[in-house]
Amino acid sequence: MRHYSKQTRVLAAVDCIIFGFDGEDIKILLIQRGFEPQKGSWSLMGGFVQPEESFEEAASRILKQLTGLDGVYLEQLYAFGNPDRDPAERTISVAYFTLIDIHLYEKQLSDDYHAEWFSLNKIPKLVFDHGLMVEMAREKLKYKAAFHPILFELLPDKFTIPQLHSLYEGVYNIELDKRNFSRKLISTNLLVKQKEKEKARSKKGAFYYKLDKRKYNAALNSFLNFIPNPGNLK
């Protein structure tokens, strides 16, 4: 096998950023690092790329190995290559991220590495530059949520406006006026009100709605009028 002469070798790794929605809150999946440096600290799911693997294959393998999650679509985020990002050895990491419905994958989650869901507002200190990875992934998630129907894919077939309100507040990390949000949402005419109410959270209850998917696919821009400054998101 040929090698490039006089070149320094570096390690290649992947890190997986898994956001999840549980019906009320946006969360992130973390594990405690199992080896030095910083053994026991909270970390994203990461590991080294093997010679026979692509980055995508490595990300899927590592995610399944460390959490049990399988068949999760992962989107490449960014390559992190600061020379001193890993104190042990020069390592370049390619980060991947996704947003899933926690309830659809809860049976897959393994206890072997004690993977744990944390609210995005209560993330513990993370190893290395993983905090930067999370912030960058969150900004990318805001952008995707503004121009793609990914948030509605997390909702059940019928949902309440408070559920949708919580989802958008979690993604954008801001407080949205409930009445204004509800008014603008209903004004899109893309939601079909149901007769049933969800009464687990209050005596009065909240009506269920369904998304008119045909209208939604044809008029996606109707939802952009209640998203905070989508044109300024990156």
Peptide bond into 37 cis (omega under 30): yes
**Fold adopted by 152-232:** Arc Repressor Mutant, subunit A (1.10.10)
Confidence (pLDDT) at 66? 93
Which residues make up the CATH 3.90.79.10 domain(s) of the chain?
11-147
Q: pLDDT of the chain along its 234 residues, tens only?
A: 677 888 888 999 999 999 999 888 899 999 998 888 999 899 999 999 999 999 999 999 999 999 999 999 999 999 999 999 999 999 999 999 999 989 888 888 877 778 999 998 899 999 999 999 999 999 998 888 777 667 777 777 888 888 888 888 888 888 888 999 888 888 888 888 898 888 766 667 888 898 887 776 666 555 555 555 544 544
Contact predicate 158/210, CB 8 Å? yes
Q: 76 has which bridge partners? A: 96
List Cα–Cα distances, 57 to 13, 48, 74, in angstroms.
12, 11, 10
Give ranges for CATH 1.10.10.10 in the chain.
152-232
Phi, psi for residue 199 in degrees, rounded to 5: -115, 10
* CA distance from start to end of the chain: 43
Structure tokens belonging to residue 118: 């944390």
The crossing angle, in degrees rounded to 10, of helices 130-147 and 161-172 is 130
So what's the pLDDT on residue 129? 97
Give strand pairing partners of 73: none
Copy the structure tokens of residue 230: 């989508």
What is the pLDDT at residue 175?
A: 87
The CATH number of the structural domain formed by 11-147 is 3.90.79.10
Closest CA to 17 of 127, 175, 130: 130
Q: Which residue has the tokens 């001193």?
A: 84
pLDDT for 158 equals 85
CB 164, CB 185: distance < 8 Å: yes
Contact call for residues 75 and 126 (beta carbons, < 8 A): no
Do residues 30 and 75 touch, judged by C-beta distance below 8 A? no
pLDDT of residue 121: 85
Give CA–CA dist 144/227, Å, rounded.
12
Contact 15, 93 (CB under 8 A): yes
Distance, in Å, from the CA atom of 157 to the CA atom of 104, rounded to the nearest integer, reads: 13
For position 67, what pLDDT does the model report? Answer: 93
